[in-house]
Structure 1
């Protein structure tokens, strides 16, 4: 007899568990326990005597990261662990008892879930957030976004001083030399002028390893003089320089952490993909390859390639009934970090693989898709090929239109000759181009106003019509 153990996980309070047999009849329910070895041993001892661990299925929702140690403990005991999307369990709970929400009810719903929706159960094999590569690539993606936001704030603060600073420091503030210059408090024009040309050139030469010299020092001195002429003494220069220095130091610290993280990810990725299958895919380097593999997990755990595509969330929504059917945008039901890596990899892969370039060309030129939509289709095809190569244990091989293997140089020549997007087509497919809309939407105050304004005259007088 197979047993189903449904567990409603709590992050700080006690969990609740319910045990049901294969017919959905409960042996017991509402048992409270915590994530400790003693409580888990006591819970396991409540199973019927002589129970084979392989016949036990533990069903849980991925509540934050509290499920990770529980899943690992039950797997070591020989039970199968199944993770259920929270929205699926919520829908079944609403069907089961619309006006009730309790931890005990949730555990009972999870224990009966194999009877209600057996095709929605997927065994969890990995450690989830406990996996080092999965966690590292997510942390790197987060740090990159933080660094981008910090550089954007830094750019906005420099605009207060005037356009000369951007011209002198360059459009890309992510380089270490301008960040170190600003982190030292040299955004104050008085400080720059007190440094003088010689000391400023020496500072720039040391931190840029000779790339910046006295010419750059003259540009910064000119920017400082322009700021003083623009603002005079109205602006508090030291206070603004301190704010800029804080943002620059944050950007430098994030840059250092990202570099350290890249080194750790490279070691983890080499261990996870010793055969170098993902680096053989066009458009995928060590960083994107690690991000795809870390967030996707082992592609062999999926029942089909369609399941791999559905996990990414790049497949379109479908609304079909009778003879009517409509495909919408991507479901975005999967991992956002995985979609981010696939989207960036697709942009590079379409420039290196003739088959993907042909698909991108057809979507843009023939079907009228815009750039982002076409890239989502290319990303889905790229993911399917990655999973196929991983399952077969083979490297990615470039082919021409006749299926003959080619090298990277020949592939780029074919793309340039056959699949270049005309400039007028790309201009017409820009995603920033939106159709003309009215200046005011349906929430305009005039539309909210009632069609008949109450009369302010004596009783019985006609109401005045609303203004057009």
Structure 2
């Protein structure tokens, strides 16, 4: 007889478990336990005597990361572990009881879920956040976003000093040389002038490894002089330089962490993909390949390629009733970090694979899609091909429009000859979506309401003010 163990997981309080048979009859419910070996052994001892572990299914919600050690413990005992999306169990809970919400009820709902929604159960085989590659690529994506936000704040602080500073620092704050310059407190114009041309040139030459020559030192000096002329004594230069130095040091520290994380990800990715299947996909390098594989998991765990696409969230929502039906935007129900990697990989893959370039060309030119919309289509196709190659254990192969295998230089030649997007069309597709309708809302600049006061002159031409 099959048994279903529903567990309502708590992050700080005790979990609650309920045990039901295949008919939905409860053997017991509301057992409290914590994530300790002693409590788990006591819980396992509550199963009926002689129970085959293979006949036990543990059903849980992925509550933060508290489910990971529980899933690993029950899998070691031989039980099957099923993870249920929280929104699905919440909908069933609302149907089950509209006026009650308790941990005991949640565990009972999870134990009876196979009876209410059997097609929604999928066995969880991986460790989730416990997998080192999955965790590392997510951490890297988070660090990159933090660095981007830090550089944006740094750019905004430099605007206070004046526009000359961006040109003086090369216009690329992600470069280590301007970051080290700012981290040293040299955003103060008085400090720059006290350094002088010779010492400033040595500093820039050393930290840029000879890329910035002695003539480059003239630009920070000119920027410092322009700032002093602009602000004179109205600005507290040392305080602003300290704030800029803090942001620059944060950017340098995050950059170093990302570099060390890339080295660890490369080792984990080589171990996870020893045959180099993802590395054979055009447009996917070690970083994007590791991010796709780490967040997707083993593609063999999906029953079909449609399941892989649905997991990514890169499929449109369907709204159908009777004879009417239409597709809305993307579901975005999957992993955001996976979609991010697929979107970036699609931009590179369409430049290297003629078949993807042909589809991108058709979407942009014939169907009038926006650039981002076309890339989402390419990302979905690319994910399907990656999963198919992984399931077959084959490398990705480039083909010409007639289906003959080709190499990378031949592919680029075909794309340049047949599938180049005109520059004016590309600019139009990148800025304005052709299917977006004009906004019908009332705004401060454009008021469609008849009773709204006018924001400008009543005529098309400006009137001449009286003398």
TM over 0.5: yes
- Paired with 2:221 and 2:178, the residues of 1 have a C-alpha distance of 14
Is this contact kept in 1: 2:6–2:17, CA < 8 A? yes
Matched-pair contact (CA < 8 Å) for 2:441–2:448 = no
Q: Quote how far apart the aligned CAs of 1:366 are.
A: 1.0
Pairs within 5 Å for 1:151-300: 151-300=151-300
Q: How does 1:381-392 map to 2 (within 5 A)?
A: 381-392=381-392
How far did 1:427 drift?
A: 2.6
1:436 Cα shift?
4.0
**Per-residue CA shift, 1:101-145, capped at 9, x if unaligned?**
100000000000001111100000000000000000000000000
Q: Give the 5 Å matches for 1:343-362.
A: 343-362=343-362
| C-alpha displacement of 1:440 | 1.9
Report the equivalent of 1:122: 122
> Equivalent residue for 1:437?
439
Cα distance in 2, alignment partners of residues 109 and 68 from structure 1: 21
| Match of residue 83 from structure 1 | 83
Native 8 Å contact 1:354 1:412 kept in 2: yes
SS in 2 for 1:219: helix
For residues 429 and 276 of structure 1, the distance between their equivalents in structure 2, rounded to whole angstroms, comes to 35
Q: CA deviation at 1:247?
A: 0.2
Match of 2:5 in 1: 5
Compute the TM-score of the two structures, normalised by the length of structure 2: 0.94
* CA deviation map 1:8-56 (0-9, x unaligned): 0000000000000001111111100000000000000000010000000
Q: Tell me, which stretches of 5 or more residues in structure 1 are unaligned?
A: 451-468
3-state DSSP of counterpart to 2:267: helix
Structural mapping, 1:73-112, within 5 Å: 73-112=73-112
CA distance in 1: counterparts of 2:441 and 2:366, whole angstroms: 32
Question: What CA distance in whole angstroms lies between the structure 2 residues aligned with 1:336 and 1:431?
Answer: 24
1:437 CA drift (Å):
3.2
Equivalent pairs counted in the alignment come to 449
Cα separation, 1, equivalents of 2:431 and 2:101 = 43
Q: What SS does structure 1 have at the residue aligned with 2:19?
A: strand
CA distance in 2, matches of 1:6, 1:273: 35
- CA deviations on 1:227-282 (whole Å, 9 max, x unpaired) are 11111111100000000000000000000000000000000000000000001000
SS state of the match for residue 31, structure 1? strand
CA drift of 1:424 comes to 2.7
Separation of aligned partners in 2, 1:432 and 1:12: 49
Alpha-carbon separation, structure 2, partners of 1:132 and 1:448: 60
Contact 1:349–1:356 (Cα < 8 Å) also in 2 = yes
Q: SS at 1:327's partner residue?
A: strand
Q: What is aligned with 1:411?
A: 411
**Residue aligning to 1:55:** 55
| CA–CA separation in structure 1 for the residues paired with 2:308 and 2:105 | 32
Native 8 Å contact 1:354 1:415 kept in 2 = yes
* 1:185 Cα deviation from its structure 2 partner: 0.1
CA distance in 2, matches of 1:408, 1:117: 48
- Looking at structure 2, the residues matched to 446 and 424 of structure 1 have their Cα atoms a distance apart, in angstroms, of 32
> Equivalent residue for 1:465?
none
Residue 339 (structure 1) shift? 0.2
Partner in structure 1 of residue 315 of structure 2: 315
Query: Structure 2 stretches of 5 or more lacking a match?
Result: 453-467
Q: How far off its partner does 1:367 sit?
A: 1.0
Name the CA distance, whole Å, in 1 between partners of 2:440 and 2:128. 47
SS in structure 1 opposite 2:344? helix
- C-alpha offsets along residues 298-321 of structure 1, whole Å, 9 cap, x if unaligned? 000000000000000000000011
| Whole-Å separation in 2 of the counterparts to 1:152 and 1:425 | 30
Alignment correspondent of 2:428: 428
Q: Deviations over 1:394-425 (max 9, x none)?
A: 10000011110000000011111111112232
| Match status 1:24 vs 2:21 | no
CA contact (8 A) 1:372 1:431 kept: no
Partner-residue secondary structure (3-state), 1:148: helix
Displacement after TM superposition at 1:430 (Å): 2.2
Give the aligned CA root-mean-square deviation in angstroms: 1.7
CA distance in 2, matches of 1:445, 1:168: 44
Q: 1:428 Cα deviation (Å)? A: 2.5
Cα distance change of structure 1 residues 27 and 448 upon mapping to structure 2, 3 Å threshold: farther
Mapped to 1, the partners of 2:187 and 2:380 lie a distance apart of 46
TM superposition score normalised by structure 1: 0.94
| Residue 364 to residue 162, structure 1, CA distance change in 2 (3 Å) | same
CA–CA distance in structure 1, aligned partners of residues 32 and 441 of structure 2: 58
- 1:173-211 per-position Cα deviation (integer Å, ceiling 9, x unaligned): 001100000000000000000000000001111111111
CA distance in 1, matches of 2:216, 2:232: 24
